[in-house]
Structure 1
Amino acid sequence: MRKKLVVPGEVLCVLEEFLPRLGSFVNGEGKVKARVLGEAVYDLRSKEVSVRPLKQIIDLRAGDRVIAEVKDVQDKIAVAEAFLKLPNIPLKYRRTGVVIAKRNDVLDNLLGIGDIAVLTVRGVYRGINTFDVYSPGCGVMLAICSVCGNVLDKRDNILSCSRCGNKERRKTVLKYGNLDILKQLIGEEL
């Protein structure tokens, strides 16, 4: 195996010499180029070239669990921004994604605007993430009142606001409202 430091866009070889793998791609002229800054690794036995990045790249993949803030909720679709990949890996840039309701279900009963929720990444297609709230262990960690914006308290599977008395329903996680766990995951003061 040969190793060499490369920058994005640098020509590594031609397609006839090595097949591109992780961190490399083929352009229209048949040249294999580096996709990221890192160390080019040429595998002479299998005739493959890959680029091992210098910095860890945090990608979301199907099956990953994230903590996200819900930005918008409609009947059948919700928009959420993931800011933490579990366990305890902060995302440098927030990843926006959608939560799609199951047939005969309404998302208003599961999520609310401003809620902090644990979601599972269902898939990533061309940079668009789809999240799932129906998986076991997923749901709202901290719910916000839709009337006054106060944090909702959980009493007998119903979330109620101590300020205005509003009652709402959400799909909650087992440890709903535990701010200590949320602080440990996020690593900052709430």
Structure 2
Amino acid sequence: MSSQERDRRVVPGDVIGHEEEYVEGQNVFLEEPAGLLRASTVGVLRLDNNLKVASVLPARTLRAPGKGSFVIGMVTQVRESLVFTELYGEISLDPRPRWVKEFSGRLTGVITPEHISDSRIDDIYSFLRPGDIIVARVMSTISPYLLSLKSPQLGVLYAFCSRCGSLMTPEADGFRCPHCGNFEKRKVSSLAYSRDAIRIDVKRIGLIPT
């Protein structure tokens, strides 16, 4: 295993090895009967190749989202029944939207159709597309994090035109490109109409403290 792999940051639930390779050390637990070693806390992976012990050193500066928290992320892949996202930071919506923390490492989130709408979804592309920047609620405690968009404040904050790549303007049921006029349906977050509340650098996909 490379030094980069040994020093990688992990979150609860991440697979870090197999019982045939290492025994569980600090902040590592064994998942039986699969024999997988998983991290039990946020931190940095450390492997002792002499003693064959896998441990996770807690990293106080690395923060993972908790269940019920609100996060900013980008849609990376859309399948028929599953949407994958990269999570970039945590926000607070009470008493007003504000930036809380940008994550030190990239975390993965997933969204299922039932966590987008109570109604039947025939075309998930009418709600989310790759490249969309979203605000979502975390529904689980381990990676990949299950996300929900079932609230008016949750959904797409920023969308980019599939024709010309321009940043689009939010409308009632989607976004319209100010350059080519293209309209695309989305699950629009109510926060998209007042983006200054949550400032995002869309060029580097990062949060800007307010």
Q: Offset of 1:36 from its aligned partner?
A: 8.3
The Cα of 1:100 is off from its aligned counterpart by 0.7
- 1:85 maps to which of 84, 90, 106: 90
Q: 1:169 to 1:57 in 2, by over 3 A?
A: same
Which residue identity is paired with 1:100?
T
Paired residues in the alignment total 144
Specify the alignment match of 2:73 in structure 1.
68
Task: Tell me how far apart the structure 2 counterparts of residues 26 and 153 of structure 1 sit (CA, whole Å).
Answer: 47
2-side partners of 1:36 and 1:64: how far apart? 16
Decide whether aligned partners of structure 1 residues 60 and 155 sit closer, same or farther in structure 2, where only a CA change above 3 A counts: closer
Match of 1:150 among 162, 166, 169: 166
Q: Is the 8 A contact 1:113 1:144 kept in 2?
A: no
> What 5-or-longer segments of structure 2 have no aligned partner?
1-25, 31-40, 44-57, 93-99, 201-205
TM-score, scaled to structure 2: 0.58
**Identity of matched residues, %:** 24
Which residue is 2:37 aligned to? none
- Going by fraction, where is strand more abundant, 1 or 2? 1
Q: Secondary structure at the match of 1:175?
A: helix
**Superimposed CA distance per residue, residues 131-182 of structure 1 (whole angstroms, 9 cap, x where no aligned partner):** 1112342111111112221111124444211222211111112231544333
Indicate whether 1:122 and 2:139 are aligned: yes
**Worse-matched range after superposition: 65-74 or 135-144:** 135-144
- Cα offsets for 1:62-81 (capped at 9, x unmatched): 21110001111233211111
1:57 Cα deviation after fit = 4.2
Relative to structure 1, the CA distance from residue 84 to residue 25 in structure 2 (aligned partners, 3 Å threshold; closer, same or farther) is closer
Residue 124 of structure 1 aligns to a residue whose secondary structure is: coil
Specify whether residues 128 and 25 from structure 1 end up closer, same or farther in structure 2 by C-alpha distance, changes over 3 A only. closer
The answer to whether the Cα contact below 8 Å between 2:153 and 2:191 also exists between their aligned partners in 1 is no
| Partners of 1:96 and 1:68 in 2: CA distance | 9
The DSSP-based 3-state class of the residue aligned with 2:60 is coil
Q: Where do residues 92-131 of structure 1 align in structure 2 (5 Å cutoff)? A: 92-102=104-114, 104-105=120-121, 106-125=123-142, 127-131=143-147
Distance 2:60 2:191 in 1: 34
SS where residue 148 of structure 1 aligns? coil
Bigger radius of gyration among the two: 1
The root-mean-square deviation of aligned C-alpha atoms, in Å, is 3.0
Once the two structures are TM-superposed, the CA of residue 107 in structure 1 deviates from its matched residue by 2.3
TM-score relative to the length of structure 1: 0.63
